[in-house]
Structure 1
């Protein structure tokens, strides 16, 4: 059972060199992802005089985020697993694939990476606002459901292509699959709530622009969706495999 494998971890994990390296990798990967994704939206808005909510703007956002996440996951995969997302880290924790202490380090690094990316964008673009995620013609409940479903799809993809010990050669395309599902989800939900699927992606722009309207949706939705995906995949497809592993061996994404 996944709940039996959830672990707090040891305090010395917080100061271990490998944890520090993983945190730095998560910071850099998240910075790369948010800088490219958020920056593409700002650039398109400038070129189209505020037309970032047009169909072409939505497609541009999906392509930019998909490509950027593919790169961000790839460059961090060998060091931290390339989570680039607090929801992915939480889903991995719920499934027993990362300890709480190490997960906290990942969260701090991811949030800092997003904030620094938005600050750099604001400085480099002459003070232009980074913007923040918000609802467009949908209720808070609808947006919450959208974020839950989209993040479920993302984290389920992460489990299937990167965490599952039976993934085999499929693991080589994990970054591509993860980038593609994010791009596809942006096409599906971007016009309604921005399709964050990632609390860090929403946190940086909200902090820099100081706009917290409905911000809780971009935490609650992704974390709930990630937890469901982690539990479903672990219970249905991985639990029997883990029964044959020593309890201290938690394969990490």
Structure 2
């Protein structure tokens, strides 16, 4: 029996007693023959549908109540809680099935960190975007008049901010979220802090909450291309599509930066790669 297994059985993991998963294959077509793969895609679709349903319905409800009463509506704080709390619940429910991405930027960041294959990443993103459209469609079906009159919950660049400022807000916000995902699911951290229970969905949900608080006044807090795309498709007015590129470019850039920072700087991937090049040249 290996030392790692013995330590695990005794419950005495040290900082060095952990097993990293090998990098995911870049292009793994074998996944297409497994039911678990399609089950994961379905889970991503349903989770993103529910996420957009709760989030966009909260945004529209807040706007409706605010327009009816000066003291009405849950405000930015309530919207941030709705998005962050829903992510906490859905990541908790789907983490064991699909990993609980529910966000193309998270999927892209994990692909950059070699945690998922290209095949899985592409189909996850497709399922997430379709789920987002269906979730917003449900909201529109239930509250069609409010949906059309109050902007469909679409993310838009706020007045007074330049596209550059909006892009920066999306990059930084997504960096915080994806960096939290990497940190919360890091096997080395779990081994080092094995005496402390770690519930990964909790910090991820709080990351969404705090980023929404900071970013809603600037861009409406996209930090999730599927969320922005779904609401833009269902609302389908010019303003929803103005500067829409920000809500794809920003999250993808932020996710890539978070993956590089965590995997190659904090986890020493760059140093390991350099040593492997040196050893192979000898």
- TM-score normalised by L of structure 1: 0.87
2:187 to 165, 168, 171: 165
2:212 maps to which residue?
186
1:148 maps to which residue?
171
Local SS of the residue matching 1:78:
coil
Local SS of the residue matching 2:199:
helix
Q: Deviations over 1:29-72 (max 9, x none)?
A: 111111111110111111222789x9951111111111111011
Question: Is the CA contact 2:64–2:146 (under 8 Å) kept in the aligned structure 1?
Answer: no
Unpaired segments ≥5 residues, structure 2: 1-21, 273-282
Query: Aligned pair count?
Result: 237
Residue 234 of structure 2 is aligned to residue 208 of structure 1: yes
Question: Is the CA contact 2:61–2:73 (under 8 Å) kept in the aligned structure 1?
Answer: no
1:42 to 60, 72, 90: 60
Question: 1:236, CA displacement in angstroms?
Answer: 2.2
Question: Is the CA contact 1:6–1:94 (under 8 Å) kept in the aligned structure 2?
Answer: no
Separation in 2, partners of 1:212, 1:28: 25
1:85 to 103, 107, 128: 103
Question: Is the CA contact 1:6–1:95 (under 8 Å) kept in the aligned structure 2?
Answer: no
Residue pairs, 1:68-83, within 5 angstroms: 68-83=86-101
1:199 maps to which residue?
225
Residue pairs, 1:197-236, within 5 angstroms: 197-210=223-236, 211-236=240-265
Local SS of the residue matching 1:9:
coil
Question: 1:181, CA displacement in angstroms?
Answer: 1.1
Unpaired segments ≥5 residues, structure 1: 244-253
Separation in 2, partners of 1:223, 1:50: 38
Q: Per the alignment, do residues 121 and 171 of structure 1 end up closer, same or farther by CA in structure 2, a change over 3 Å counting?
A: farther
- TM-score normalised by L of structure 2: 0.78
Residue pairs, 1:92-107, within 5 angstroms: 92-107=110-125
